[in-house]
Amino acid sequence: DAGITQSPRHKVTETGTPVTLRCHQTENHRYMYWYRQDPGHGLRLIHYSYGVKDTDKGEVSDGYSVSRSKTEDFLLTLESATSSQTSVYFCAINSGPQETQYFGPGTRLLVL
């Protein structure tokens, strides 16, 4: 257990509605990441953060925004959810680029 929680763990929403997923860590790690996992694609990086208010885009950032106002929290927002954003979302943390990333339990999102 790397001290990472995600909320909610499951969510069903409708197309066009905004959705925010939360990642919370208790170990003061500098780096936090949001991934999505889809069959046949492994995990793909959406956005990451390297400090409070410091964020950058990953491989599949279109349609997503993030915010990090506190070290312990990293929020992922889908401004207007689409069915293609149905996925399992994982948050991860680490202390530096060459360090192992530790993953949260995941959030299953279904967009109808």
Least distance in angstroms from the C-beta of 16 to another protein: 29
Nearer to another protein, 31 or 64 (CB): 31
**Residue type, position 31, single letter:** Y
Nearer to another protein, 22 or 44 (CB): 44
Least distance in angstroms from the C-beta of 40 to another protein: 6
- Look up tokens 């950058």; give the residue: 56
Least distance in angstroms from the C-beta of 4 to another protein: 9
What residues make contact with another protein under the rule CB under 8 A?
31, 33, 40-45, 48, 50, 56, 58-59, 90, 97-106
Q: Which two tokens stand for residue 78?
A: 């889908």
Task: Sort strands 31-37 and 87-94 into parallel, antiparallel or unpaired.
Answer: antiparallel
Nearer to another protein, 16 or 97 (CB): 97
What residues contact 94, with CB distance under 8 A and at least 6 apart? 29, 31, 33, 100, 101, 102
